[in-house]
């Protein structure tokens, strides 16, 4: 059983109080709104939400729920303080952190007189770096040291209004952003009854994941609506289409394609995206999301070129030219577009592609190679070593088992990895860098 204070008695705070009380913990709520404090102190919810009224009443009847308008009382009567205050958008889009920073200052002032270790948990949505900022604020006002007398843990919530209680008690996972072993142990004990995966990450990862999640959810809604608008014009049942789409859990609803790296290419994705956009345009259906995907993909290729130019190498090598590993298909290959752009900037270029070499040796796809990329064929080398030994920058677009040793053995060659080799022994080397990580 833990003694928990909750700062902010809105949707996140009220649900947290009710659910933690159900799990057997003692809760004390705090808010600058005296009306909310009064309601919680009587075991009443501050929000309209399924199941929350019963949880608040049960927790209060069991003596597990109280509330106060005193920061000192809330902190002194708890070992863990959850920050659940609002962080609304400012006019320019950034989050207004004034409430959470003010709460942190007040907690810090109280901690000055507290002798026991205290955990401050950021439950509110905050930008990366806020954990560190709050740690410094509490240090300043408490005159105590983070990691010794207190710790700030980032623990983003993933609650949907309307089913927030169910989401709290049955989460897909629990994210804990901290490197403090003592605090992580206590937080794990807090969440273990929920029987879900508990993932320990750095604070910045925990802080950004909520933005990523909700932006993707917004994208899903918009994507589905654009598909619906197209289907409506074609007299097609869009719900049947999207139901069919969701049945594919190998590609459509899965981790596949969700690894940051280089741009997409090939014959299928560009062709079908263009085709769907054409159908939309022919029916006068505006689809801003679908129409911007190709532009974003081109921007990513240019982003890689900008990095190459910033590195400043004049002799460049590319490992992998086809649109992905395991094929000699180079149609719409992002690597070819990058190679041509590098040449256009006046750099020398050497290329190794295992599958293009096989295609040339076997004379399969030979006509397409000679017809479509004759300017790149003379730049193909017979081995990875041949490329690395002749250039000062190597761009990796496919995983190759020889590359880790080559990176270690050629410290004067810079390696720019667009796909991530997933070899921790090279990721700390000064001549290696990842493109999107």
Catalytic residue annotation:
268
- Residue (of 411, 392, 253, 276) closest to 428 by Cα position: 411
Q: First and final CA of the chain: distance in angstroms?
A: 40
Coil, strand, or helix at residue 382?
Answer: coil
Between the alpha carbon of residue 98 and those of residues 12, 101, 132, 136, 139, the distances in Å are: 18, 5, 16, 15, 18
Coil, strand, or helix at residue 325?
Answer: coil
- Residue (of 360, 398, 327) closest to 387 by Cα position: 398
77 near 3, Cβ under 8 Å? yes
Q: Where are the alpha helices (DSSP H) in 234-284?
A: 238-247, 268-282
- Token pair for residue 131? 């954990």
Question: For 281, how many CA atoms within 13 A lie in the half-sphere containing its CB?
Answer: 9
CA angle 204, 220, 435 (to 5 degrees): 45
The alpha carbon of residue 259 and the mean position of all alpha carbons in its chain are separated, in whole angstroms, by: 10
Pairing of strands 173-177, 432-434: unpaired
262 near 304, Cβ under 8 Å? yes
Sign of CA dihedral 411, 417, 421, 422: positive
CA-to-CA distance for 426 and 283, rounded, in angstroms?
52
424 near 404, Cβ under 8 Å? no
């Amino acid at each position: 059983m833990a003694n928990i204070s909750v700062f902010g008695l809105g949707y996140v705070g009220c649900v947290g109080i009710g659910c933690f009380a159900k799990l057997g913990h003692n809760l004390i709520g705090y808010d600058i709104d005296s009306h909310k404090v009064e309601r919680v102190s009587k075991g009443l919810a501050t929000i309209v939400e399924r199941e929350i009224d019963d949880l608040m009443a049960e927790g209060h009847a069991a003596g597990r729920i109280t509330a106060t308008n005193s920061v000192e009382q809330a902190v002194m009567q708890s070992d863990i303080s959850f920050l659940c205050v609002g962080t609304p958008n400012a006019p320019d889009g950034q989050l207004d952190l004034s409430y959470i920073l003010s709460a942190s200052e007040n907690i810090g002032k109280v901690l000055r007189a507290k002798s026991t270790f205290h955990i401050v948990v950021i439950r509110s949505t905050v930008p990366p770096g806020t954990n560190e900022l709050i740690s410094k604020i509490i240090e300043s006002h408490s005159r105590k040291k983070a990691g010794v007398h207190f710790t700030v843990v980032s623990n983003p919530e993933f609650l949907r209004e309307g089913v927030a209680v169910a989401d709290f008690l049955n989460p897909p996972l629990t994210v804990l952003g901290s490197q403090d072993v003592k605090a992580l142990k206590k937080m794990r004990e807090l969440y273990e009854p929920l029987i879900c995966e508990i993932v320990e990450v750095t604070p910045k990862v925990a802080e950004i994941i909520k933005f990523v999640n909700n932006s993707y959810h917004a994208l899903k809604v918009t994507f589905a609506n654009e598909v619906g608008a197209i289907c409506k014009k074609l007299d097609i049942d869009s719900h049947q289409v999207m139901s069919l789409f969701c049945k594919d859990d190998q590609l459509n609803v899965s981790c596949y394609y969700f690894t940051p790296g280089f741009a997409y290419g090939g014959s299928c994705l560009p062709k079908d995206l263009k085709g769907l956009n054409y159908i939309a345009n022919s029916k006068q259906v505006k689809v801003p999301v679908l129409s911007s995907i190709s532009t974003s993909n081109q921007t990513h290729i240019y982003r890689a070129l900008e990095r190459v130019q910033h590195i400043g190498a004049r002799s460049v090598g590319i490992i992998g030219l086809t649109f992905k590993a395991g094929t000699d298909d180079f149609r719409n290959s992002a690597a070819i577009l990058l190679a041509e752009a590098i040449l256009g900037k006046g750099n020398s270029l050497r290329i190794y592609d295992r599958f293009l070499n096989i295609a040339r040796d076997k004379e399969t796809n030979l006509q397409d190679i000679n017809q479509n990329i004759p300017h790149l064929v003379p730049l193909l080398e017979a081995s990875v070593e041949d490329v690395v030994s002749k250039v000062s920058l190597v761009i990796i677009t496919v995983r190759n088992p020889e590359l880790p040793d080559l990176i270690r053995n050629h410290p004067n060659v810079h390696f720019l990895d667009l796909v991530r080799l997933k070899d921790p022994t090279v990721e700390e080397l000064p001549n290696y860098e990842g493109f999107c990580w």
